[in-house]
Amino acid sequence: MLSTIIKKELLSNIFSFRFLVTFVLLLVIVTITVFILTDNYVKKLDEYSQRQREIENYLGDYAHFNRINNVVRPSQPPVPFYSLIRGLSSDSNIEKFDNDPLPVIFPLIDFTFIVTILLSLVALLFSYDSICGEKEDGTLKLMLSNRLSRSKIILGKIIGGTLTLLIPFLLSLIIGLLVILLNPRVLWKGADWGAFGLILLGSILYFTFFYCLGIFISSRHHSSSSSIMTSLFVWVFFILIIPNLSPYIASFLAQTPSRIKIDREVAMITDVERDELGRKLSGERRIEMYRNYPVLAEKLSQAEIKRRVAQDPDYRKAYKELRDAIGQAWDEANRIQGGKVDVLEKELHRKQEAQERLAIWISMISPLSDFTYLATDLSSTGIRSRSHFGRIAEGWWRAFGAYTMKKLASLREENPTADWWNTPVDVSDMPRFQYQQEALKDRFGGTIRFFVVLIIFNLIFFTAAYFSFIRYDVR
Amino acid sequence: MIGTVARKEIISNLVSYKFFIVILLTSVLIFTSFFIMHRDYKQRLSDYHIIKPKPNEPIAVIPPNPLSMFANGLEDAMTRSFEVSLIGIETRAGQASGNIIFSFFTSPDFLYIVRVVLSLVALLFGFDQISREKEQGTLRLMLANSIPRSKMLAGKWIGNFLSLSIPFLLVTLLGFALLNLDSDIYFSPGNLVRFVIMLAVTLIYIALFLSLGIFISTLTKKAAASIVILLFIWALFVFVIPNLGTLLARQMVDVPSVRALSEKKEQIWTREVLLRIMDGREGKETGVSRFQAIHNEMDKLEEDYRNKFNRLIGLSKNINRISPVASFIYAVTDIAGTGIGEEGHFKTEIIRYKNRAFLDIVSDKTEYSPFNYQYRSLSQILAKGTMFDIAWLVFFNIFFFALSYFSFVKYDVR
């Protein structure tokens, strides 16, 4: 009996006008979006390798350790998922002078958008009249005059409805995937397909939530024209309002100190104050060394010093010790100032993270945010992948720091009189930054809570729809 | 005759469930938005007082713009702190950049509420104007009297527009009045004029979606069919076209990414420092000329980038204007002084200030001239495309209304 209802739902949906419109629209939008995103991904790939080449060229010609950190700064390569999901990649680079204003005003459209906005709208459009519409037509009375339980009807309606709507969604997605697969530059690996499967599961959960919600609203109303009003009203709140309010509410509840002020303080501590402290400490060391090695106190020209270092081994030893002592003094200054900066930045970071966490929890009331976080995290384009990139970069900085120290020591051995920081060096053996996406298992682990929330939402509204329909006045 | 039809529309709207829901939604959203953006503005204002540059600092920061409460636009980018030094401009971003969730979702300002929700509401007022009356059979009855179809359509349009816009205006003005109760908030007369123009553009925008709704309603025989079509057109106009258009324009104009540009600048800087040291340590005079040379090279790079980027903005504007929603965004943000045009102007001014301050720094002055920013005047804004955007919105209005007239004249009312 259940299958009859499902079949009836399927057929009546498929031959409806709205099914046709949905189908055409999804097909067109998905194809165009994936096409443009893929094209853009390829362009991003080219630009990324071009940038890497320029860095290599620079290092080949002008590598030296003063300010090299600003040049070799690692950056995240485009991930293959960019041809489907963009997440936070459309970065406006607000910390740079030439920030990009366009993504702020016109956020990108991707698969997440298609699911969260279009698919939820479609789900409500198909379900808003599935109970009250049949009542208006008088077919609900007829159906129930047969020996058919209400629970079977509601179950059949939900199953049949979701099945029909999955057809246009999946078909348009297949076309989109074809566009991706046919492009030789886009290479999806096993983990990408696994992530895609999980995202697909998430989108189906998201979709059934809205379908159940629509049926619930439909069974609370007796005319379809008021049902669509309520549905759209609820939709606007869930989709367009709650997520957008959440970061603001969080910023009022968990306040952070002024970033610009702390930024300036940090710059002051590491720049002017560090130089003062360094000069003071190295001056003290210098006087101390002059006492131990009176030969050093003599005022000599650079050329004379070089000559003496080359000829006189005692002088060479004394000179080397002086420079080592001064180097240590500067290291000490850096360490002290670095400690101060650490305290400031840790405090700011802690408060910011608390605010961000609060914003996420608030926005999780809306299934749109749940799905957005889930899809972006799984596709390595979200919040998780940012911190993952940060971790890899941190490891690389440590390796690079050790490499710098080693290189500087060998420069010091070679020539104690040289300005080691500003001597051209060969850095072809430096550690290279390698980006690896986070393992799928870890990504999934982080998104379980979003899956759970979506499932709970589903259960709540399924039960609500069920009980409302059981008590529905069909006359 | 038109008056009678309009009155009938208003009265039937007033008692409907739709009207109740819509008014509830609009008032809740507008008050929430004003409340949230007001608190946000106050927070930014108090932050500004902390970071405001002292007279002897070569730093450019402008106070937050009160109109950004209604159209946030690029406000976050414009209220950053720009610090000039020998190296160039150091940029520091404010609070919103510290919380990643801000970049996931658009800010819920007045512009957003109107753009997304009010347009939907206007469609809901228009979608069943003709088809519903046909389904109920009242259309036949009405036309059995001696009333021309054009008058009936005009009456319907006016009636619905009034029953939509009057409550909306009342709510907005009430919210605006409440904002003025706060003594920290000050709207200059110029800003008041701008706010009034923003409201006028908003009304044109709402009218446009009402006309579109009525037009689709005259094409269909059933209200259910027209709501489906309308919701899809709405999604296309509001979300899909403007956002895909920008990406499409990006594919057509070759602009280096922000990262690429800043990496290149960093390379020039470190290279020049090395070369300068290898040339032997120079006296102050040649040091200055070296800095000047670096600056000139950077400026050339910057100018090249800005030219390309302006081409991209021009192209994306023209593509996006296929959707009237993009025109609406351009018009409102530019009038509020938080739009793309204003931001470009602002950056030019910052660069000019940097050049001046740079000269002050190399000539060892201890007092730097302060940064004063003048927002573009209304006439400048209108001349730079905003007039066109408004005219384009009006055109869409007339176009959809004319279409609905033609199709209604031929409509089968039986």
Chain B CB within 8 Å of residue A92 CB: yes
Chain B CB within 8 Å of residue A294 CB: no
CB-based contacts of A110, cutoff 8 Å, min separation 6: A33, A37, A84, A85, A86, A87
Q: What's the pLDDT band for A5 if we cut at 50, 70, 90?
A: confident
Domain-embedded: residue A266: yes
Separation between Cα atoms, residue B228 and residue B98, nearest integer Å: 40
Tell me, what's the pLDDT at B287? 66
Residues A124 and A39 occupy one common structural domain: yes
Separation between Cα atoms, residue A416 and residue A341, nearest integer Å: 32
Q: What's the pLDDT band for B330 if we cut at 50, 70, 90?
A: very high
User: Residue A132: how many CA atoms within 13 Å on its side-chain side?
Assistant: 22
Residues of chain A contacting residue B68, judged by C-beta atoms under 8 Å apart: none
Separation between Cα atoms, residue A144 and residue A229, nearest integer Å: 27
For B46, the closest chain A residue by CA position comes to A258
B37 pLDDT above the threshold of 70: yes
Residues A353 and A450 occupy one common structural domain: no
Residues A101 and A136 occupy one common structural domain: yes
- List the alpha helices (DSSP H) in B15-56: 17-51
User: Tell me: the pLDDT tens digits for A361-407?
Assistant: 999 999 999 999 999 999 998 889 888 999 999 999 999 999 998 98
Of A44, A109, A229, Cβ closest to residue B239: A109
Separation between Cα atoms, residue A322 and residue A412, nearest integer Å: 12
Residues A455 and A400 occupy one common structural domain: no
A90 pLDDT above the threshold of 80: no
Question: Which amino acid is present at A310?
Answer: A
Tell me, what's the pLDDT at A259? 87
Residues A182 and A329 occupy one common structural domain: no
User: Residue A161: how many CA atoms within 13 Å on its side-chain side?
Assistant: 26
CB contact under 8 A, A424 and B112: no
B285 pLDDT above the threshold of 70: no
Separation between Cα atoms, residue B246 and residue A373, nearest integer Å: 24
Range of the domain at A127: 2-253+439-470
User: Tell me: the pLDDT tens digits for B73-122?
Assistant: 999 999 999 998 877 888 888 888 888 888 888 899 999 999 999 999 99
CB contact under 8 A, A260 and B244: no
User: Tell me: the pLDDT tens digits for A338-353?
Assistant: 999 999 999 999 999 9
Of A39, A58, A103, Cβ closest to residue B251: A39
User: Tell me: the pLDDT tens digits for A271-293?
Assistant: 889 999 999 998 888 888 888 88
Of B116, B132, B229, Cβ closest to residue A21: B229
B71 pLDDT above the threshold of 90: yes
**ipTM summary value:** 0.89
Query: What's the mean pLDDT when you consider all of chain B?
Result: 89
Tell me, what's the pLDDT at A141? 86
CA A37 to chain centre: 17
Residues of chain B contacting residue A17, judged by C-beta atoms under 8 Å apart: 225, 228
CA atoms A244, A250, A252, A256: torsion sign:
negative
Tell me, what's the pLDDT at A205? 95
Residues A219 and A113 occupy one common structural domain: yes
User: Residue B33: how many CA atoms within 13 Å on its side-chain side?
Assistant: 29
Residues A366 and A226 occupy one common structural domain: no
Of A47, A226, A233, Cβ closest to residue B257: A47
- List the alpha helices (DSSP H) in A15-67: 17-62
Tell me, what's the pLDDT at B281? 56
Domain-embedded: residue A429: no
Query: What's the mean pLDDT when you consider all of chain A?
Result: 89
Shortest alpha-carbon distance between residue A267 and chain B (Å): 10
Domain-embedded: residue B195: yes
CB contact under 8 A, A94 and B320: no
User: Tell me: the pLDDT tens digits for B361-404?
Assistant: 777 777 788 888 999 999 999 998 899 999 999 999 999 999 99
Strand partners, B82: B60, B91
Segment B309-312 long-range contacts (CB within 8 Å, at least 24 positions apart) = B309/A98, B309/B255, B310/B344, B311/B253, B311/B255, B312/A102, B312/B249, B312/B250, B312/B253, B312/B255
Q: Hey, which residues 406-445 in chain A have their CB within 8 Å of chain B?
A: 419, 422, 424
User: Tell me: the pLDDT tens digits for B234-281?
Assistant: 999 999 999 889 888 988 888 888 888 888 888 888 888 777 777 665
For A263, the closest chain B residue by CA position comes to B92
Domain-embedded: residue A434: no
Q: Which tokens go with B216?
A: 């689709």
Separation between Cα atoms, residue A383 and residue A449, nearest integer Å: 15
Tell me, what's the pLDDT at A129? 86
CA atoms B240, B246, B247, B249: torsion sign:
positive
User: Which of A133-147, A194-208, A230-244, B66-80 is predicted with the least confidence, judged by mean pLDDT?
Assistant: A133-147
Domain-embedded: residue B168: yes
Instruction: Give yes or no for a contact between B109 and B69, defined as CB atoms under 8 angstroms apart.
Output: yes
Tell me, what's the pLDDT at A91? 67
CB contact under 8 A, A244 and B305: no
Separation between Cα atoms, residue B49 and residue B30, nearest integer Å: 28
Domain-embedded: residue B414: no
Closest CA to B25 of B157, B146, B164: B164
Separation between Cα atoms, residue A330 and residue A281, nearest integer Å: 7
Number of domains in chain B: 1
Q: Select the residue from B228, B233, B306, B329 to test the A interface by mutation, using most A Cβ atoms within 10 A.
A: B228
A470 pLDDT above the threshold of 70: yes
Question: Which amino acid is present at A180?
Answer: I
CB-based contacts of A93, cutoff 8 Å, min separation 6: A99, A100, B258, B259, B262
CB pairs under 8 A between A and B: 273
CB-based contacts of A224, cutoff 8 Å, min separation 6: A128, A129, A132, A133, A136, A218, B224
Residues A234 and A264 occupy one common structural domain: no
For A36, the closest chain B residue by CA position comes to B248
For B43, the closest chain A residue by CA position comes to A252
CB contact under 8 A, A226 and B17: yes
Q: Stretch A103-132: mean pLDDT, rounded?
A: 89
Tell me, what's the pLDDT at A214? 94
Please give the C-alpha separations between residue A22 and each of A208, B229, B235, in angstroms, as whole numbers: 17, 9, 12
Residues of chain B contacting residue A110, judged by C-beta atoms under 8 Å apart: none
Q: Stretch A71-90: mean pLDDT, rounded?
A: 86
CB contact under 8 A, B103 and A229: no
Number of domains in chain A: 2
A218 pLDDT above the threshold of 80: yes
User: Tell me: the pLDDT tens digits for A31-61?
Assistant: 999 999 999 999 999 999 999 999 999 888 8
Shortest alpha-carbon distance between residue A226 and chain B (Å): 7
Tell me, what's the pLDDT at B283? 52
Residues A393 and A288 occupy one common structural domain: yes
Residues of chain B contacting residue A302, judged by C-beta atoms under 8 Å apart: none
Residues of chain A contacting residue B132, judged by C-beta atoms under 8 Å apart: 225
Separation between Cα atoms, residue A92 and residue B104, nearest integer Å: 12
Q: Which runs of E-coded beta strand occur in B282-414?
A: none
Tell me, what's the pLDDT at B286? 62
Q: Select the residue from B100, B271, B301, B311 to test the A interface by mutation, using most A Cβ atoms within 10 A.
A: B100
Closest CA to B151 of B396, B405, B400, B399: B405
Range of the domain at B391: 2-409
Residues A142 and A47 occupy one common structural domain: yes
CB contact under 8 A, A225 and B98: no
For B25, the closest chain A residue by CA position comes to A233
Q: Hey, which residues 174-233 in chain A have their CB within 8 Å of chain B?
A: 224-226, 228-230, 232-233
Q: Tokens 């930054």 label which residue?
A: A433
Residues of chain B contacting residue A263, judged by C-beta atoms under 8 Å apart: 92
User: Tell me: the pLDDT tens digits for B130-146?
Assistant: 888 888 888 888 888 88
Instruction: Give yes or no for a contact between B5 and B156, defined as CB atoms under 8 angstroms apart.
Output: yes
Q: Which tokens go with A155?
A: 């179950």
Q: What's the pLDDT band for B176 if we cut at 50, 70, 90?
A: very high
CB contact under 8 A, B101 and A250: yes
Domain-embedded: residue A364: yes
Residues A249 and A263 occupy one common structural domain: no
For A265, the closest chain B residue by CA position comes to B51
Strand partners, B81: B92
Residues of chain B contacting residue A363, judged by C-beta atoms under 8 Å apart: 101, 105
Residues A76 and A184 occupy one common structural domain: yes
